[in-house]
Amino acid sequence: MIKILGRPNSVNVQKVMWTAAEIGVNVDRQDIGGAFGGNDTEDYLAKNPNGQVPTLVDGDFVLWESQAIVRYLSESHGAAPWYPASLKDRGLCSQWMDWYIANLHPAMTVMFWQLIRTSDADRNNAAVATAAFDAAKEWAILDKHLENNVYLLGDELTMGDVPLGCAAYRWHSMDIERPDLPNLKRWWDSLAARDAYKKHVMLPLT
């Protein structure tokens, strides 16, 4: 069975676990990283030299980088529309997946660390406000796209929704000022109604 090494409250592990659940792949997830530790051992670093989670182990094949793992599972076990049949649609999935990392993840990380992992006394509220402002500009781009699309690629949920979908839970759950982005909210509400998303993504922020 495919193993996923990584703690369930990691957003990057969540991308992988949500994907696996949507496409019906049974995986054996093991608690590594964060409070569980185990990601600084010689054995773990031999698999993933970054000492980060997640890491996939499929027989003698090892893969790290959450979005590479999402693509690997989707291509090996998923079917259209989740793993789109057309090269162009797969390109569009990658576009949104990579856009999330490049444009939204930095600001989302600042907010998460400041609001969830930093004590009230030590919090840099100016940094939170700046990150929320920067992220809102990016979420507005997605909101505009979702004006005419139910999901990122149109009418069907695909692997391209995964990274932004995981981040959307955090965006709507953290104590920040959010502009009204109705299409984004409608898309996120539709994700939040899915069993696999509830089980793997909508976990307490810790």
Ligand X SMILES: N[C@@H](CCC(=O)N[C@@H](CS)C(=O)NCC(=O)O)C(=O)O
Task: Note the residues at the interface with ligand X (CB under 6 A).
Answer: 10-12, 33-34, 39, 52-54, 65-67
Task: Compute the least distance from the CB of residue 152 to ligand X, in Å.
Answer: 18
The nearer residue to ligand X, 69 or 152, going by C-beta atoms, is: 69
Q: Compute the distance between CA of residue 31 and CA of residue 35 in angstroms, rounded to an integer.
A: 9
The nearer residue to ligand X, 34 or 81, going by C-beta atoms, is: 34
Task: Compute the least distance from the CB of residue 49 to ligand X, in Å.
Answer: 12
The nearer residue to ligand X, 75 or 98, going by C-beta atoms, is: 98
For residue 1, count CB atoms less than 10 angstroms from its CB and return exposed for 0-12, middle for 13-18, buried for 19 or more.
exposed
Residue of minimal Cβ distance to ligand X: 33
For residue 44, count CB atoms less than 10 angstroms from its CB and return exposed for 0-12, middle for 13-18, buried for 19 or more.
buried
The nearer residue to ligand X, 67 or 158, going by C-beta atoms, is: 67
Task: Compute the least distance from the CB of residue 26 to ligand X, in Å.
Answer: 21
Helices (H), 62-101: 66-77, 87-99
C-beta separation of 84 from 154 below 8 A: no
Task: Compute the least distance from the CB of residue 203 to ligand X, in Å.
Answer: 13
C-beta separation of 26 from 64 below 8 A: no
Nearest to 170 by CA among 93, 118, 107, 120: 107
The nearer residue to ligand X, 131 or 181, going by C-beta atoms, is: 131
> Bridge-partner residues for 27, per DSSP?
2
For residue 165, count CB atoms less than 10 angstroms from its CB and return exposed for 0-12, middle for 13-18, buried for 19 or more.
buried
Task: Compute the least distance from the CB of residue 106 to ligand X, in Å.
Answer: 12
